[in-house]
Amino acid sequence: MKKRKDGFQGERSIVLPPNVVTLEAHDPLASSLYVTDIGYYPSALYHFRERTEPIRQHVLIYCVSGSGWYRVGEKDSAGAKEYQVKANEYFILPAGRQHAYGANEANPWTVYWVHFSGDHADIYAQGAQQPQQVMPNLQSRIGHRNNIFEEIFTTLHCDHSLDALRFVSSLLHYYLASMRYLQQYRQAETPKTKTADEYAVVEATIHYLKENIGQRLTLDDMATYAGYSISHFSTIFRRKTGESPLNYFNRLKIKDACRMLETTDIQINQLCYKVGIDDPYYFSRLFTRIMGCSPQAWRKDRQP
């Protein structure tokens, strides 16, 4: 894998030891579906991986921003297929096949990734070799899906007991199902507002913002989503919420950051990327301005 010398700033990853993977593979419950490796790479410039020796696990890569590419099959062979992938798309590289993948150097991807195996792994991987869309809309639940990933990651970071591995297996079923059975996942929580008045437009836009906490949306992005000019959109948004769309979005980001500071042990210089802010110093200033104290102080005050 090609990286900058200091890795990808904000990256997080776990590679489970062989004895833990063996425990998963031989447990009657966890063996149905289990994690072997998991991670999150933000703005992964120069990310590249080529496996000429196939591995036994399927590899899920979920691109939430930027873009990249991947190839399935031996390089330059007649059966090899190469694909482009962009934001809000995922793919699953099949076990037992040579493959390669990498970030677009002009617009490097931010990705969640999971290596997984198990008796039911093939069911989730089937039909997902080509890029699959999970575009935000009024019914999408991207934030909820990302929280499932965080539960998996945090559990594996803290605990490799059999109970923890069984819990992770159950969560992995849910995480993969949220993509593979996208329509059913979205219909399980239908927004209450369906009328086409201005209040519904603002509510729909707020939902869109929550679904894109990890992105750097502009005012033009928001207005385009709402279907209004920037000026008209800003007016109705402020009338309904009392503040500008960008200020509201920043408050949502900091609110989500507060949640992660309280419920996870993620480092602050990693957390900022999770809420779409690439500069840890700017993130700390913004957090302090909104919350009245630094992220470090916020976490310390809430420790038991």
pLDDT digits (tens, 9 = 90+) for 70-127: 999 988 888 899 999 999 999 999 999 999 999 999 999 999 999 999 999 999 999 9
Q: Which helix (H) or strand (E) holds 274?
A: helix 268-274
Q: Mean pLDDT across the stretch 259-284?
A: 91
119 and 204, same domain (yes or no) = no
90 and 19, same domain (yes or no) = yes
pLDDT at 187: 81
pLDDT digits (tens, 9 = 90+) for 170-218: 999 999 999 999 989 988 865 444 434 677 888 889 999 999 999 999 9
Does 1 reside within a domain?
Answer: no
Return the structure tokens found at 154: 């945090």
pLDDT at 194: 40
161 and 96, same domain (yes or no) = yes
User: How far does Cα 115 stand from its chain's mean position?
Assistant: 15
243 and 98, same domain (yes or no) = no
Q: What is the DSSP letter of 2?
A: B
pTM of the model: 0.72
Q: What is the CATH number of the domain that holds 178?
A: 2.60.120.280
Of 166, 187, 208, the residue at which a domain comes to its end is 187
Does 147 reside within a domain?
Answer: yes
Among candidate residues 247, 262, 253, 263, the one with its CA nearest the CA of residue 284: 253
Q: How many CB atoms neighbour CB 289 within 10 A?
A: 10
37 and 181, same domain (yes or no) = yes
Q: Which residues contact 300 (CB under 8 A, 6 or more apart)?
A: none
161 and 280, same domain (yes or no) = no
pLDDT at 190: 53
224: domain range?
Answer: 198-301
Does 132 reside within a domain?
Answer: yes
Per the prediction, the chain carries an average pLDDT of 90
pLDDT-wise least confident of 1-10, 130-139, 179-188, 209-218: 1-10
179 and 61, same domain (yes or no) = yes
Q: Mean pLDDT across the stretch 275-295?
A: 94
Region of 292 (left: φ > 0; alpha: ψ -120 to 50; beta: rest) is left
Q: What is the CATH number of the domain that holds 287?
A: 1.10.10.60
Of 158, 187, 216, the residue at which a domain comes to its end is 187
pLDDT at 139: 74
269 and 245, same domain (yes or no) = yes
